[in-house]
């Protein structure tokens, strides 16, 4: 079904408030065919894009016939990510196998990795016409073979060239030709007077050559009367002058305008605050914050209830991070116990697991009294005393210690402290992964999971704060996706569940793609040039949803979900959809006449619908209280400011009133968010300011609407 509808999704297992364990699915029920993000520049500066109608979802186990293999959730292929395999030599077909192959029930551990090529099924592409022209070959489209120009080249106005019979190009030749064609396109567009402010992508299987049109300077887009958008300069910290010649489309841009604070510069919304705010103010507040005083105390640890906290960790926490091996846990615990939990990485890991496990049992930290110690703090303090030894050790376990400590600091809503530990994690990862032989074979799976966690954490921080990039993203193409821990002798303490983790990796990459193509300093600057990009990104979001296994496919009914995994994925889905379509709201706030365009009106409806769906049951955000409380709070603020601004626009208000029963219901949704964010205010100075801003904005909005 279409995610834009409000009906039920395909049948989905519903569970209780605790984490559910998902059964493995067979290949017969889960095969996807969908495109990578493909935008092709043509000489006149317009965009040519594959129509979503050219692709389909296939749920049969027969031999697949796509020209572009499904970027589904899987060990070596995930929604357009064709990462290299562990040995660096897998073919593109192997890389694009989906989650169905990953979860094929072959043994007691359905996620057990496969090390040989014969263990992985291969989908064979259909035979192509040998007379296909170069354009059709590069786009993987069927060519009708007409000369001098085929139908597609005629429509695109492109040069139609047929390869001489018998000539075959190897991968190196193709890469060279792609680069030459890209350079030629750039030269042609510059010579014709067009200025390219598009994203230069890595010319590999994952990121095809692309230019996203003309116009735009650095900064925040805003609508103008002629349909083009003006820009607000984006300065401050993190101004990098040395830019690479190519940009990975799946990573956060170094300069972007997607953060919550940038909405305060939008028309109408800026009238809701009494003074202008520098977009860097949240970062400054967190930098000036006092450190945790409890970390200087002598650790005192109660080990009387450790079993309950360990079980809680593997039941409620590891599903989000998947970075602790349940099959080797007993051995790690015994090593830590023999050391009296006073030395070694095993002791540090065990203490951090206990801290996170105890924290998971108390619910959202926003509901704990501000003068009470957070749950798990005693274990974290003990682990903190061991971290200096891990700081100077460049091993996988030392890296895991820093990652788990960062996870607990995110729970404490300490984003800058978490970022400092992530920088150390990133440095260790880069040292380990620069030379594959440095990672023992038994630890490769663990180091991959640590890597993706670090990348997810960093991307979430960079989405809201202008921080220096750690550089860990440079290794993205060289790191495989998780495939399952090897089952050790004896029973594990929990299940090795990767479904959510892989789904979140895919969605985070898509969110980063949105920031690159729409909100980066090189993004296009008109609603007309945005239209094909927005359509493609929304299509990829739909394909992400349809690629989820059925137990994870959340329903689109407007009801509260009981399953925390489905709840978090649904909230993340609507957050992504909101930012995809948000530039259209900006265009209308700047110029009411823009809504006369049916396409603009439709896209505004999609954006506001996604915003309302994120906010209408505000209590749902508690489901992600472990990984997302800080990010989730700022996301609430962003969507609420957007809805507030829309309610002050007569044309946008008419759309909002189609999404809620009546005007009072809209006011109640906003009021609930204001109260919820106020409960978070004591957790961090950045959230305290966010609570003040949104409260003042609501008072001013009510005054404005009252005349």
Residue 642's pLDDT band, with cuts at 50, 70 and 90, is very high
Our CA angle for 289, 251, 112, nearest 5°, is 100
For residues 338 and 83, what is the distance between their CA atoms, to the nearest angstrom? 40
Query: 243-247, 416-420, 511-515 — which is least confidently predicted?
Result: 243-247
Backbone angle region of 148, left / alpha / beta, with phi > 0 → left and psi within -120 to 50 → alpha: alpha
For residues 147 and 702, what is the distance between their CA atoms, to the nearest angstrom? 65
27 versus 182: which is more confidently predicted? 182
Q: What is the predicted pLDDT for the residue at 176?
A: 56
Mean pLDDT value of segment 644-671: 96
Tokens read off for 601: 């009106």
Query: 155-159, 521-525, 680-684 — which is least confidently predicted?
Result: 521-525
- 581 pLDDT more than 50: yes
For residues 199 and 614, what is the distance between their CA atoms, to the nearest angstrom? 30
- 87 pLDDT more than 70: no
Mean pLDDT value of segment 185-200: 44
Mean pLDDT value of segment 387-412: 95
Percent of the chain with pLDDT over 70: 68
Our CA angle for 476, 325, 427, nearest 5°, is 35
Sign of CA dihedral 515, 516, 519, 521: positive
Which run of H or of E encompasses 249? none
Residue 522's pLDDT band, with cuts at 50, 70 and 90, is low
- 665 pLDDT more than 90: yes
Our CA angle for 314, 317, 318, nearest 5°, is 60
Instruction: Work out the end-to-end distance of the chain between its first and last CA atoms, rounded to an integer number of angstroms.
Output: 43
Coil, strand or helix: which one is 340? coil
């Amino acid at each position: 079904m279409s995610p834009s509808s409000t009906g039920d999704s395909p049948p989905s297992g519903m569970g209780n408030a605790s984490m559910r364990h998902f059964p493995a699915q067979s290949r017969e029920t889960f095969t996807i065919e969908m495109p990578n993000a493909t935008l092709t520049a043509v000489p006149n500066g317009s965009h040519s894009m594959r129509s979503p109608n050219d692709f389909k979802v296939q749920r049969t186990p027969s031999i697949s016939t796509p020209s572009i293999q499904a970027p589904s959730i899987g060990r070596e292929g995930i929604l357009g990510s064709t990462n290299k395999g562990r040995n660096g030599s897998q073919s593109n077909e192997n890389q694009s196998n989906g989650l169905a192959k990953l979860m094929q029930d072959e043994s007691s551990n359905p996620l057990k990795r496969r090390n040989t090529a014969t263990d992985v099924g291969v989908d064979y592409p259909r035979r192509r016409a040998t007379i296909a022209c170069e354009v059709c070959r590069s786009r993987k489209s069927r060519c009708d073979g007409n000369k001098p120009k085929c139908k597609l080249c005629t429509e695109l106005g492109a040069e139609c060239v047929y390869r001489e019979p018998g000539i075959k190009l190897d991968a190196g030749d193709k890469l060279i030709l792609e680069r030459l064609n890209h350079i030629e396109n750039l030269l042609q567009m510059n010579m014709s007077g067009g200025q390219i402010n598009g994203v230069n992508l890595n010319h590999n299987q994952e990121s095809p050559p692309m230019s996203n049109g003309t116009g735009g300077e650095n900064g925040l887009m805003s609508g103008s009367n002629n349909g083009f958008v003006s820009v607000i300069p984006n300065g401050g910290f993190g101004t990098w002058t040395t830019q690479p010649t190519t940009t990975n489309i799946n990573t956060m841009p170094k300069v972007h305008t997607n953060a919550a604070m940038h909405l305060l510069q939008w028309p109408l919304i800026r009238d809701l605050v009494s003074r202008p705010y520098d977009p860097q103010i949240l970062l400054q507040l967190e930098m000036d914050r006092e450190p945790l005083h409890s970390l200087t105390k002598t650790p005192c640890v109660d080990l009387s209830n450790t079993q309950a906290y360990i079980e809680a960790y593997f039941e409620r926490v590891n599903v989000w991070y998947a970075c602790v091996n349940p099959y080797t846990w007993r051995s790690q615990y015994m090593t830590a116990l023999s050391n009296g939990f006073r030395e070694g990485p095993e002791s540090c890991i065990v203490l951090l697991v206990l801290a996170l496990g105890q924290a998971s049992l108390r619910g959202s930290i926003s509901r704990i009294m501000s003068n009470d110690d957070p749950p798990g703090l005693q274990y974290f303090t003990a682990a903190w005393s061991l971290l200096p030894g891990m700081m100077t050790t460049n091993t996988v376990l030392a890296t895991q210690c820093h990652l788990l400590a960062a996870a607990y600091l995110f729970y404490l809503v300490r984003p800058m402290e978490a970022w400092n530990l992530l920088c150390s994690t990133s440095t260790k990862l880069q040292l380990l992964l620069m030379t594959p032989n440095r990672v023992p074979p038994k630890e490769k799976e663990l180091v991959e999971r640590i890597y993706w966690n670090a990348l997810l954490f960093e991307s979430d921080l960079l989405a809201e704060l202008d921080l220096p990039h750690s550089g860990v993203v440079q290794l993205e193409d060289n790191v495989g996706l998780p495939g399952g821990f090897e089952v050790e002798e004896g029973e594990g303490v929990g299940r090795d569940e990767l479904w959510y983790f892989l789904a979140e990796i895919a969605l985070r990459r898509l969110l980063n793609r949105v920031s690159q193509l729409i909100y980066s300093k090189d993004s296009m600057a008109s609603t007309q040039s945005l239209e094909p990009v927005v359509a493609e990104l929304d299509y990829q979001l739909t394909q992400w949803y349809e690629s989820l296994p059925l137990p994870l496919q959340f329903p689109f009914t407007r009801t509260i979900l009981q399953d925390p995994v489905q709840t978090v994925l649904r909230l993340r889905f609507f957050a992504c959809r909101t930012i995809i379509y948000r530039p259209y709201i900006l265009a209308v706030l700047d110029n009411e006449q823009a809504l006369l365009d049916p396409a603009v009106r439709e896209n505004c409806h999609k954006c506001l619908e996604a915003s309302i769906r994120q906010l209408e049951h505000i209590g749902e955000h508690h489901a992600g209280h472990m990984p997302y409380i800080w990010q989730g709070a700022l996301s609430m603020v962003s969507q609420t400011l957007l809805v507030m601004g829309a309610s002050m626009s007569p044309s946008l208000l008419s759309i909002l009133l189609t999404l809620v029963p009546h005007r009072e219901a809209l006011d109640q949704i906003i009021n609930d968010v204001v109260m919820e964010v106020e409960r978070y205010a004591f957790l961090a100075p950045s959230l305290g300011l966010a609570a003040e801003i949104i409260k003042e904005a609501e008072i001013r909005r009510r005054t404005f609407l009252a005349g």
